[in-house]
Each structure stands twice: as C-alpha cells, then as structure tokens.
C-alpha cells in the first residue's frame, strides 16, 4: 500500500504532511520497546524522548522525497522512523550538562532532568542500537537495500557524521571561528541525517548515481539552511521553540559572525541551491520542494 494513497502530481503539502506525520508517530509507537515493568526507565525514557512533539522533519523529508520519486515501498516508513530515533538519541546527549546543558526540549524538561544523566545516556545508546535493528529488519525491502541503508545511517552518525560535527561544535564553538569551519560543523552535526534521509530515499527508489548525487546536494543545502534557521531562532522565547532561549549565547555561529541580515541572505542562497538541484531532478513542483518552501518561508 502506498504511504499516500493519493499520488496525483499536484498533491498539496499540508494533507500529505498530516497523513505522513500520523503514520510516522503511529509506527514509532509500535517500533519502540514498551516498558516491561514500572521501573523500566530506559524503555520509558526512550519512548518519552522520541514520541515528544518534535517536528519529525527527517522522516517526513525522506517520505516526501520517496513520494516525489514515485517509489512506494512499505518498509520505507521503518527506515524513516529509524532516522527519527537517531535524531532523538543525539538530542538526549546534546542536552546533557557536559554538552549544551539544556533544561527544555520539545516543550518538556530534558531527559536527564526528568530521569537522571545515567538513564539519558543509556536510553540514547539503546535507541541508537534499536534504530539499526529496525533498518536491518525493514519489511519488503531487499537485503541489499537494507544493508546499504544500514551503511548510510552509520556514516551519518559516526566519525564522519554527527559525532564529529558535535565535537567540532563543542570544541570550536566558543572561540572565534572562520565561516567555513562553522559550515563544516553544521554540515556534519545537522546535515548528516538529512543526507541519510535523501540518499536512502534515492536508494529505495533505485535512482542513478547522478540523481543520488543531486539528492545529496539537496540534503546538504537543506541541512545548512536548517541549522542557520535554528541559530536565527535561538533568541526566540521557549513557548515558540520548545527549547531554552539563548542556548547559543557563548557560541560563534553564522548569525553571531555575520549578523542576522547576512545570515538570512545566506539561508536564501542555500534554499536556491537546493531548489536548483530539485529542478535538475525534475522535482521542482514536488512535495520536497514544497516542504523546503514551507520550512524556509521568510
């Protein structure tokens, strides 16, 4: 069954987002372990952290791209959910006192405040390994696709992905940093999961190498733009972002370095570049392009 039953080309974004978001949340609820007893805090924290009201951008991006590419694989939703699990696992760690020391996430107290640092670390590790087992077992996808999807996910996380980006961010973020060093950290810590989302969509859809390269470029621009937007929103009140305001107070971000206007211009450049690649793919009017327009609307 197609994830979106209505596959006409002009399908509007909002109903598609609503339908996919419901499917992602339902499937996440099914895939995450249930607590086995009232003291099973790891399972409870995993569910609490993942199912808290985040935007689900990474799984939605992957599923919208699959729709644009006319690929309807039932197992894709599980891989999309694994991206959300990895993202949530990274947030558990990012919020710890030894990292960003955050108190609020997705409008709720951060996981370590609610359950303690030990539970937050263990829930993150459990979630990461669970995400890989979900990809490995994704139904109705060939063994080759599942194996390659595992590879894409691990590249997004490890020494060439989120972990390295987070390290650069923690250890370069509080000093003056050149713009390209900031972009590199942003690309790794935020772009990596967007790349996994779109490359996996291309893999499932059986895209050519050239088209996968274009999807990767879309994801890179999307990731850089997304982190810029996150930085631009840093001063906003917690009611709007669900996070602590001014978390980047002591960090050198693009916004701190260039100012808000130049950062906005930079953001528009990323959106234009992403759209150019979508056009190359013949997806200028697709749902992925609409998602981009919606997220980065001025």
The contact set with ligand GRG (CB under 6 A) reads 54-55, 57, 86-87, 89-91, 93-94, 106, 124, 128, 157, 162-163, 166, 189-190, 226-227, 230
DSSP 73-87: -TTHHHHHHHHHHHH
Q: Which is nearer to ligand GRG, 71 or 123 (CB)?
A: 123
> How many Å apart are CA 293 and CA 235, to the nearest integer?
23
- Shortest Cβ distance from residue 24 to ligand GRG (Å)? 12
Q: Which residue is nearest to ligand GRG (CB)?
A: 54
- Shortest Cβ distance from residue 5 to ligand GRG (Å)? 27
Indicate left, alpha or beta for 70 from its phi (over 0: left) and psi (-120 to 50: alpha): left
Q: Which is nearer to ligand GRG, 230 or 244 (CB)?
A: 230
Q: Which is nearer to ligand GRG, 162 or 197 (CB)?
A: 162
- Shortest Cβ distance from residue 291 to ligand GRG (Å)? 12
Q: Which is nearer to ligand GRG, 281 or 287 (CB)?
A: 287
Query: What letter would DSSP give residue 188?
Result: I
Do 74 and 112 contact (CB within 8 A), yes or no?
no
Name residue, tokens 């190498």.
Answer: 209
Specify the 3-state DSSP secondary structure of 109: strand
Compute and round to an integer the Cα radius of gyration of the chain.
Answer: 18
* Cα distance from N-terminal residue to C-terminal residue, the chain: 36
Q: Which is nearer to ligand GRG, 126 or 207 (CB)?
A: 126
- Shortest Cβ distance from residue 84 to ligand GRG (Å)? 8
Q: Which alpha helices (DSSP H) does the chain contain, by range?
A: 13-31, 41-51, 57-68, 76-94, 111-115, 117-136, 143-157, 162-172, 179-186, 192-205, 209-232, 238-241, 254-258, 260-280, 287-295
> How many Å apart are CA 124 and CA 157, to the nearest integer?
13
- Shortest Cβ distance from residue 131 to ligand GRG (Å)? 9
**How many other CB atoms are found less than 10 A from the CB of residue 26?**
12
- Shortest Cβ distance from residue 190 to ligand GRG (Å)? 4
> How many Å apart are CA 190 and CA 61, to the nearest integer?
14
Q: Which is nearer to ligand GRG, 166 or 220 (CB)?
A: 166
Q: Which is nearer to ligand GRG, 90 or 277 (CB)?
A: 90
- Shortest Cβ distance from residue 76 to ligand GRG (Å)? 19
Q: Which is nearer to ligand GRG, 211 or 243 (CB)?
A: 243
- Shortest Cβ distance from residue 144 to ligand GRG (Å)? 25
Q: Which two tokens stand for residue 25?
A: 């949340």
């Amino acid at each position: 069954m197609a994830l979106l039953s209505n596959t006409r080309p002009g399908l509007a974004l909002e109903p598609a987002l609503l339908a996919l978001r419901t499917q992602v949340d339902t499937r996440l609820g099914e895939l995450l372990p249930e607590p086995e007893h009232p003291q099973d805090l790891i399972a409870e924290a995993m569910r609490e952290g993942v199912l808290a009201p985040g935007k689900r951008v990474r799984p939605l991006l992957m599923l919208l791209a699959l729709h644009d590419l006319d690929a309807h694989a039932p197992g894709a939703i599980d891989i999309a959910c694994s991206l959300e699990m990895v993202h949530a696992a990274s947030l558990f760690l990012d919020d710890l006192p030894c990292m960003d020391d955050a108190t609020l996430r997705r409008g709720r107290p951060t996981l370590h405040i609610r359950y303690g640092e030990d539970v937050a670390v263990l829930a993150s590790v459990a979630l990461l390994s669970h995400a890989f087992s979900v990809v490995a077992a994704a139904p109705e996808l060939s063994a080759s696709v599942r194996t390659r999807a595992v590879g894409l996910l691990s590249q997004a996380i490890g020494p060439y992905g989120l972990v390295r980006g987070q390290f650069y961010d923690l250890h370069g973020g509080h000093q003056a940093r050149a713009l390209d060093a900031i972009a590199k950290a942003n690309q790794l810590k935020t772009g990596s999961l967007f790349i996994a989302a779109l490359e996996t969509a291309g893999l499932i859809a059986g895209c050519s190498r050239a088209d996968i390269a274009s999807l990767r470029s879309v994801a890179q621009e999307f990731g850089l733009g997304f982190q810029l937007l996150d930085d631009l929103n840093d001063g906003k009140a917690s009611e709007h972002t669900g996070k602590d305001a001014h978390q980047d107070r002591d960090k050198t971000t693009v916004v701190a370095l260039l100012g808000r206007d130049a950062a906005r211009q930079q953001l528009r450049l990323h959106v234009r570049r992403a759209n150019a690649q979508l056009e190359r793919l013949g997806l200028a009017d697709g749902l992925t392009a609409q998602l981009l327009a919606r997220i980065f609307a001025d």
